[in-house]
Amino acid sequence: MQKKHSLAKTLAILSGKGGVGKSNFSLNFAISLSKLGKRVLLFDMDIGMGNIDILTGQHSPYSIVDFFENGLSLQDIMTPGPERISIITGGTGLTNLFSLDEDKFARFNEEFGSLIENYDYILFDMGAGITQDSVKFLLCVDELIIITTPEPTSIMDAYSTMKYIRSVNNRIPFFLVCNRVFTKKEGKETIDRIRNALRKFLGTELVALGYLPDDRSVSKAVSRQIPFILSYPEGDVSKSLSEITSRYVNHTSGEDPVIQKSNFLQNMKRYFLRK
């Protein structure tokens, strides 16, 4: 019997560069987890350029800015998304999250403490690249999913991102997804290149979750503002995503040496309040 987690696992989904389909993956991955019976909260952290609501066609009247500046609760700013997922949008003032005073942090800590008990997974869709402030946030989550494509610049950026994170934290698990591949061979070779570079130069490992094909149904779904896993459930990309999701859930529910209890709030105190 699988062990049930008492607290949500927190994941940051990131890429070294923009334009690799990270937000689209985050949304469809969240829905795919929900279809497996998981309780999922998707937190749009793409500062000033969040597009999760655009991808769903559901505009949220509130964002995390309203939590910090207008006194709304996290429940107040939460929007129901497709397939029972919950969504919190970022807004243009999300930098406040990286410079909280003690009173605001205490309020966030208390409310997030309740959320983390009500979900199985909390996903943070990060902005492209890494800043000095955002890297502190990345160090707070339990696991990282890095999105790349077969393009050489994307591969290098993904490697550089993991290299930088590993320089400040040598324990946080890396999961890798290769997006927009034309053939299975291309997807496997891309993952192997990054895996081998990590082993050779950093002495570290990653978990390869798989690859997603360059499927026209993705752009069609974006135009329709309906996630591709719902609008084209029998498409190649949807089937591949379902396999990736199952692989992730089976890995983190098994006997692998992954974090079994979230340390997110404790890490927030450590990195943002230096306690």
Question: In sequence order, what are the beta bridge partners of 40?
Answer: 121
Sign of the CA dihedral 269, 129, 27, 176?
negative
The distance between the two most distant Cα atoms of the chain, rounded to a whole number of Å, is: 52
Give the torsion sign (CA, 166, 172, 178, 184): positive
Residue 271 and residue 88: Cα distance in Å, rounded? 23
Which segments of 89-188 are extended strands (E)?
121-126, 143-148, 174-181
Domains of the chain, residue spans: 9-140+218-272
Distance CA 199, CA 244 (A): 22
- Evaluate whether 93 touches 264 at the Cβ level (below 8 Å): no
pLDDT of residue 114: 86
pLDDT value at residue 2: 45
Rounded Cα gap, residues 20 and 28, in angstroms:
14
pTM of the entire structure?
0.91
Q: What integer pLDDT is reported at residue 3 of this predicted model?
A: 46
Q: pLDDT at position 135, please? A: 86
Rg (CA), the chain: 18
Taking Cα atoms as reference points, which of 170, 169, 94 lies closest to residue 134?
A: 94
**Where are any strands of DSSP class E within 86-199?**
86-88, 121-126, 143-148, 174-181
Residues 266, 269, 271, 275, Cα dihedral to 10°: -110
pLDDT under 50: residue ranges of the chain: 1-5, 255-260
Distance of CA 142 to the CA centre of its chain: 11
d(CA 151, CA 170): 27
pLDDT at position 158:
94
Residue written as token pair 């992730």: 248
**Of the options 1.20.1730.10, 3.30.590.10, 3.80.10.10, 3.40.50.300, the CATH number for the domain spanning 9-140+218-272:** 3.40.50.300
pLDDT at 261: 56
Structure tokens at 145: 């999913």
